[in-house]
Amino acid sequence: MKLQSVDNIKFVEGGVCAAKGFRANGIQCGLAHAGAHVTKKKNDLALIAADTECTAAAVYTTNKVKGAPILVTKEHLKNGKAKAVIVNSVNANTCNADGVEKASKMCELAAAELGISPEDVIVASTGVIGQILPIEPIANGMKELAEGLTYDGNPRAVEAIMTTDTMPKEVAVQFELDGKICTMGGMLKGSGMIHPNMATTLTFITTDAGISPELLQRALSDIVKVTLNRASVDGDTSTNDMVCVLASGAAGNKVISHEDADFEAFENALYAIMMNLARMMARDGEGATKLIECAVGGADSEKTAETVAKSVICSSLFKAAMFGEDANWGRILCAVGYADAEFDINKVDVKIASAKGSIDVCKNGAGVEFSEEKAKEILGEEEIQILIRIGDGGFSAIAWGCDLTYDYVKINGDYRS
C-alpha cells in the first residue's frame, strides 16, 4: 500500500527497529495449540527492547471491559518510563479471573531474561476474550524470544502481533530536531473490533528522539485523536486497545520540554506514522477490498467535520454499496443527515473520487446528473475518496474506513473455531 506523504518527513525502513537502540523479536511459542483458537502457523509472541531507559506514554481503550494487560501496563507506566514491550496474540487475557496475575507474570518473565525490572515492561495481549491464558508456552518461549532480539527483528515481531490481519502494518520516518536526524517507527495490529473515539488496536511506536514524559503523552493524545480515533472497521470498540510510544533520546537532540517548534516537528512525525498506520488498518479491515477516505470540509468546527466524516465511514449501507462499487450517494447523504451535528443539509455537496478522477453526485443537498459509467470506473479502484462540503466554514476532518463484504461475515461468523 502506498504511503501518504507528509511535509518534512522522509520514509525509511525498519518499523520499530528503525530508531537507534531498539531490538525486536517474535516467535511462535504455541498459544494457538494451548486451548485457544487455532490460527495459521505464525508467530504469536513478540518482544521489543530498548538499550536504554525510555520515556513512555500510552493511550488505552475506553471500553469498561479492560483486558488485564491494560491494568498492569497502566500501573507500570505511572512513572512515565519503560524499557521493553511484551505482547502476545491469539488470546486477549480479558474477562479471566486470573488475568492480572498472568499479565504480571508475562512482565516478570520478560524482565528476568532482559535483566530489568518488571515495572519497566509494557504488556499487551490480543485475541479471543474470556479464555484462560496458558502461561506455559510463554514461559517456555521467553528465553528463545529474548536471545533472538536483533536490531533488524521488526518483521518477526510484527508478525507476532497479527490476528485476523492479512498484512503486517508498519512504517518508519526520519525528521530533524535541533539539527539532529531523529527516527521514529511503529507497528500496528488491527483488523476487526475497530471503532473510532478510542485508542483502537495495539500500536507500538519507538523513537530515538528525546522528549519529556508530559510532552510525549500530550503528543500521543493529540495525534491519536486525528488518526486512530478517526478509523473504523465495524463500530466495535475492543477491550484491549492500546497505543504506546517509547522515546529513548539516543538521537542526541535537546530533550523537548516545551510546546515549541521541535514539539511541532515531533508531532508531525508522529502524525506521519499514525496516519499511515490508520490507513493501513482501515484498508486491512476484516474482509475489506477497499480503503475509503471521507474528507469533510466547510464545517464551522473540527468536531462537526469529524462527526460527519465518521458517520459516513461507519454506515453499513454505504460500506456495502462501496463493496458493490455502486454510486448510491443517497446513502452518503443519509449518513450525513443522521450525524449528530448542526449544519444546513441544503448546503451539502458530495463528490466521489479515486485515482481514476472525480465526479459531483450531489449539490446543495439534491442529486445532480452524472455518468454511471464514470462512477463505476472511479469506484473500481482500491482507494476511494468521498469529498463532502457542508457549508462555508473553515474546518475540515478526514476519517478512514473500508467496505463491508461477504468476507467480513465469514471471518466473524465463526472466529473461535
Would you please indicate which residues are annotated as catalytic (active-site) residues? 200
Site for a second copy in 322-351 (CB under 8 A): 323-324, 326, 328-331, 333-339, 343, 345
Build a one-symbol-per-residue string for 361-380: x at contacts with a second copy by CB under 8 A, - elsewhere. -x--xxx-------------
Cα dihedral sign for 275, 46, 107, 21?
A: negative
> Counting contacts by CB under 8 A, is residue 417 touching a second copy?
yes
Q: From the CB of 14, what's the least distance to a second copy, in Å?
A: 33
Q: How far apart are CA 64 and CA 49, in angstroms?
A: 30
Residue of 215, 224, 314, 398 interacting with a second copy (CB under 8 A): 314
Q: From the CB of 330, what's the least distance to a second copy, in Å?
A: 3
Cell matching residue 358: 472525480
Nearer to a second copy, 17 or 312 (CB): 312
- The size of the interface with a second copy (CB under 8 A), counted in residues, is 64
Angle CA(124)–CA(91)–CA(62) in degrees, nearest 5? 50
Q: How many of the other CB atoms lie within 10 Å of CB of 6?
A: 17
> Counting contacts by CB under 8 A, is residue 163 touching a second copy?
no
Phi, psi of 24 (to 5 degrees): -145, 160
Site for a second copy in 102-131 (CB under 8 A): 128-131
Nearer to a second copy, 222 or 326 (CB): 326
Nearer to a second copy, 324 or 394 (CB): 324
Residue of 25, 55, 88, 94 interacting with a second copy (CB under 8 A): 94
Nearer to a second copy, 113 or 241 (CB): 241
Q: From the CB of 128, what's the least distance to a second copy, in Å?
A: 6
359 DSSP β-pair partners = 352
Nearer to a second copy, 231 or 362 (CB): 362
Residue of 62, 117, 140, 150 interacting with a second copy (CB under 8 A): 62
> Counting contacts by CB under 8 A, is residue 238 touching a second copy?
yes
> Counting contacts by CB under 8 A, is residue 237 touching a second copy?
yes
Q: SS3 string of the chain? A: CCCCCCCCCEEECCHHHCCCCEEEEEECCCHHHCCCCCCCCCCCEEEEEEEEEEEEEEEECCCCCCCHHHHHHHHHCCCCEEEEEEEECCECCCCCCCHHHHHHHHHHHHHHHHCCCHHHEEEEECCECCCCCCCHHHHHHHHHHHHCCECCCHHHHHHHCCCCCCCCEEEEEEEEECCEEEEEEEEEECCCCCCCCCCCCEEEEEECCCECHHHHHHHHHHHHHHCHHHECCCCCCCCCCEEEEEECCCCCCCCECCCCHHHHHHHHHHHHHHHHHHHHHHHCCCCCCCEEEEEEEEECCHHHHHHHHHHHHHCHHHHHHHHCCCCCHHHHHHHHHHCCCCCCHHHCEEEEEECCEEEEEEECCEECCCCHHHHHHHHCCCEEEEEEECCCCCEEEEEEEECCCHHHHHHHHCCCC
Binding span for a second copy by CB under 8 A among 204-212, 256-264, 292-300, 406-414: 406-414
Binding span for a second copy by CB under 8 A among 80-88, 113-121, 252-260, 404-412: 404-412
> Counting contacts by CB under 8 A, is residue 201 touching a second copy?
no
Residue of 144, 236, 259, 392 interacting with a second copy (CB under 8 A): 236
> Counting contacts by CB under 8 A, is residue 413 touching a second copy?
yes
Q: From the CB of 74, what's the least distance to a second copy, in Å?
A: 16
Residue of 239, 304, 307, 396 interacting with a second copy (CB under 8 A): 239
Residue of 48, 87, 90, 92 interacting with a second copy (CB under 8 A): 92
Residue of 1, 6, 95, 139 interacting with a second copy (CB under 8 A): 95
Nearer to a second copy, 43 or 307 (CB): 307
CA 238 from centroid of its chain's CA atoms: 12
Nearer to a second copy, 70 or 243 (CB): 70
Q: From the CB of 338, what's the least distance to a second copy, in Å?
A: 4
Q: How far apart are CA 407 and CA 386, in angstroms?
A: 23
Binding site for a second copy (CB under 8 A): 62-66, 92, 94-97, 128-131, 192-193, 195, 198, 234-239, 314-318, 320-321, 323-324, 326, 328-331, 333-339, 343, 345, 362, 365-367, 404-406, 408-417
